Amino acid sequence: MQSSASGRFTGVVLSFLLLVALLLPAAAGPGKAIADETEVFAVVQMPDRAAEDTIKSAVLRVIDVNGLLAIVGATQAQLDALQANGYAIIEQKSGTLEECLAQFYAGSFLLPTPDLLGAKGGPDDFGYTFSDSSERNGPDFKWIDITGSGTDTGITGDDQGVVVPIGFDFMFFGKKKSQVGVSSNGYLTFGNDLTDFTNDNIPDTNDPNDAIFVFWDDLYPPSSGTIYYDTRGSRPNRTFVVEWFDIPHISDRTPRSSHFTFEVILFEGNNGIKMQYKDMQNGSCEYADGRSATVGIENKSGLGGLLYSFSSPVISDGLAIKYCYPGLPCGEITLPTTSEKPRASGGSPARMTPGPAEMSTQYLSVNPQQTYAGQPVTITTNAVNNGGTAGNYSLALSINGQVEETRTVSVGPNGTQPVMFTVTRTEPGTYEVSIGGQKAMFTVLSAAGSTQGSGVNSGLIAMLALGLLVIAAAAVLVFSFRRPTRKAGQ
């Protein structure tokens, strides 16, 4: 009888131990017992350009890169790890590589053939983005002819430039500009180099910097054409237009000459930049499509910028490219028929007494935009002083309407000061961020592979199961060594 009871008890204990063995992996957290090695594809936004080398060792493969965006093939665990380390997952797909690439190139990633499919790009490190008129929601081509109303720059020589007034204050990479240099070679610059005829890939620290490259190539006004500028409209929606009219390429003038007509428009208020190409005609050679030109924008140091094309045949008649300033709307105002001439003729703007500090907040970045509970979120904005004297500016970070933190920074005249906050949230949900009228959002998910509070609950379950396992083992030992009790009379 004792042997039978012992066998039944041992069977119960073994069954209990088997149940515990099955429960322990679940207590450690769903999905962690077995790693999912299935490859998925995603568009990932890197925190900075230096991360491009790091991401290559963190995923199965990097398929394509555009600025801060990368298309990667990775396991889900690798994507989760990237997100926890400051990378944002912009778009994620499963399926064949060809299917995923088609969706990425049509959506969140720069299309590889902008002349056929449309293109959009950015943001760069400052926050600029661009789109072109072939993109579904891109800018419209609306040519502004200033050959009859504009002012002749007087450029008649090769590799020549002139500084002209814009007619209003224009913000470029966080700095206020009131005049700009116009180059015969298809670009504007707020720097000193107006004569460079050899185009570079940008960003590049070589001059010219602090520039807008509309069609930077070796052009030759002495053969034909005129370069005009004009300030149009009325405050606060004025535009500044520079038109290169009927200018040939220096290497395409005989026996038939090329003729290029294109323009750039600077917008007051939203600080947008629009490039338009009306009549790009080849002569005996083929330069009209931009195969030896640079199109894009670059900051003062030459370390930052946003390239549209470098020596690529992507320019065509009717193309419009719009660069949008970070944190500001990028729409366009219908221009009135009247025009306002620049405030000075053919030269530098009038001297002005420096005004008081004029503080504002421009550009708001949240990185990553989707993260897990307890992981840090970096929030960056720019404190901008549009005034002529230095001043202090207090910025209050609010999350869901509640002030989280306040910082005061000092900003020099016509200067910009980046300001960075770091926050964490333990509760899953969507959070609205607000600083100085700029707004953005981020989403917090539960810890990977678990639900809220699972870290505490799973630990308790594991400890309880282990305790029961010890008790059961002790009971088996006691029962095994216990001497049987004899009945009376035996």
pLDDT at 429 over 60: yes
pLDDT at 148 over 60: yes
| Stretch among 23-32, 238-247, 271-280 having the lowest mean pLDDT | 23-32
Rounded average pLDDT over 181-207: 94
pLDDT at 399 over 90: yes
Q: Do 295 and 214 contact (CB within 8 A), yes or no?
A: yes
pLDDT tens digit string along 343-371?
Answer: 333 443 334 455 688 888 866 777 777 78
Can you give the pLDDT at residue 15? 56
- Given the structure tokens 């400051």, which residue do they identify? 86
| Stretch among 226-230, 263-267, 314-318 having the lowest mean pLDDT | 314-318
Q: Do 60 and 74 contact (CB within 8 A), yes or no?
A: yes
**Hey, CA dihedral for 300, 305, 308, 309, is it positive or negative?**
positive
pLDDT at 206 over 80: yes
- Given the structure tokens 């990368």, which residue do they identify? 70
pLDDT tens digit string along 165-175?
Answer: 999 999 999 99
Can you give the pLDDT at residue 101? 78
Report the amino acid identity of residue 458. S
pLDDT at 144 over 90: yes
Q: Do 105 and 134 contact (CB within 8 A), yes or no?
A: no
Name the pLDDT band for 328 (thresholds 50, 70, 90): confident
Concatenating the DSSP letter of every residue in 339-354 gives: B---SSSSSPPPP---
Name the pLDDT band for 381 (thresholds 50, 70, 90): confident
SS3 state of residue 7: helix
Name the range with the highest mean pLDDT among 91-105, 310-324, 447-461: 310-324
Backbone angles phi, psi at 20, to 5 degrees: -60, -40
Name the pLDDT band for 483 (thresholds 50, 70, 90): low
Can you give the pLDDT at residue 103? 76
**Nearest alpha carbon to residue 179 among 351, 413, 337, 306:** 351
- Given the structure tokens 């007619």, which residue do they identify? 167
Which of the 8 DSSP states describes residue 336?
P
Can you give the pLDDT at residue 478? 60
* Residue with the larger pLDDT of the pair 274 and 117: 274
Q: b/e per residue, 406-434, with b = 16+ CB within 10 A?
A: eeeeebebbbbbebebebebeeeeebebb
Rounded average pLDDT over 320-326: 93
Q: Do 228 and 246 contact (CB within 8 A), yes or no?
A: no
Report CA 80 to chain centroid distance, whole Å: 20
Name the pLDDT band for 420 (thresholds 50, 70, 90): confident
Beta bridge pairs of residue 319: 277
| Pairwise CA distance, residues 284 & 253, whole Å | 8
